[in-house]
């Protein structure tokens, strides 16, 4: 399988959205674009605030091979995590598929369209990177 790269922009819409609030002192659960992406971030090393905007790249590999990131990616992004897909869940009410990823215990959930390239070309145990960098909040 070839490597799949997907670039997307996200904005934080909620921090620690659970009713219990923050569960761990150094981890912040971040909801972006009203739930399109839910991700745990080590806020001790990468602080985030509501309304922060991010340029995000998802890099998917396959089950058996490590994903090699080009050096330019490491230089262009501020926060990088490596993990694997552990669950898919069809969300019939949203007409989307939820994809769940674990980055060594930090979790992420994001949605994809049922027939999208990500759904067609990935599966449980696929390795992936998420790369993030903050972009300026510019209001026109």
Closest to 35 measured CA to CA, from 55, 13, 6: 13
Write out pLDDT tens, residues 99-134. Answer: 999 999 999 999 999 988 888 888 899 999 999 999
Q: What is the pLDDT of residue 21?
A: 66
Residue with tokens 């994001």: 110
pTM of the model: 0.88
Q: How high is the mean pLDDT of the chain?
A: 89
């Amino acid at each position: 399988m070839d490597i799949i790269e997907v670039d997307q922009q996200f904005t934080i819409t909620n921090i620690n959205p659970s009713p219990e609030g923050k569960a761990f002192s150094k981890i912040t659960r971040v909801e972006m674009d009203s739930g399109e992406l839910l991700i745990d971030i080590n806020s001790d090393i990468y602080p985030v605030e509501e309304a922060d905007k991010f340029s995000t790249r998802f890099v998917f590999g396959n089950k058996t091979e490590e994903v090699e990131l080009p050096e330019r990616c490491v230089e262009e992004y501020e926060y990088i995590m490596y993990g694997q897909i552990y669950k898919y869940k069809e969300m019939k009410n949203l007409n989307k598929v939820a994809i769940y990823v674990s980055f060594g215990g930090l979790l992420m959930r994001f949605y994809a369209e049922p027939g999208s390239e990500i759904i067609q070309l990935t599966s449980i145990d696929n390795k992936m990177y998420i790369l993030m960098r903050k972009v300026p909040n510019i209001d026109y």
